[in-house]
Amino acid sequence: MSDLFLKASMRLAQIPAFVGRRLAEAREEIDERGDRGDNPVVTVILWVAGIGIAVTIVASLVMLGNRASSKVDNVDLGG
């Protein structure tokens, strides 16, 4: 049991060093590549706006179809 506890405590002690190294690598990569120019907030706004416009168009077409259908239903074809 103490061997397992010792191994677990050693792993926990290594976490801050690992995170620090990974953050340094990430900063270095960002400095090398530079800003890619894409902003995730703008991307989300554009996707939401596009989907909203598509839903509005579909809803308008369905509404027009229902309105036309109700006018055609009242026509007597002399059957």
| pLDDT for 50 | 96
Supply φ then ψ for residue 19, to 5 degrees.
-65, -40
Domain count, the chain: 2
Task: Report pLDDT for 53.
Answer: 96
- Say if residue 57 is in the same domain as residue 23: no
Q: Are residues 29 and 44 in the same domain?
A: no
43 and 23 in a single domain? The answer is no
Q: Residue 64 CB: number of other CB atoms within 10 A?
A: 10
CA dihedral 47, 50, 53, 58 (to 10 degrees): -100
**Residue 51, pLDDT score:** 96
* Domain extent at residue 74: 38-79
Residues 20 and 47 in one domain: no
- Report the alpha-carbon distance of residue 52 to residue 64 in Å, rounded: 18
Tens digits of pLDDT across the chain (79 residues): 578 888 888 888 898 999 999 999 988 988 888 766 667 888 899 999 999 999 999 999 999 988 887 776 666 666 5
Rg (the chain; Cα; Å): 31
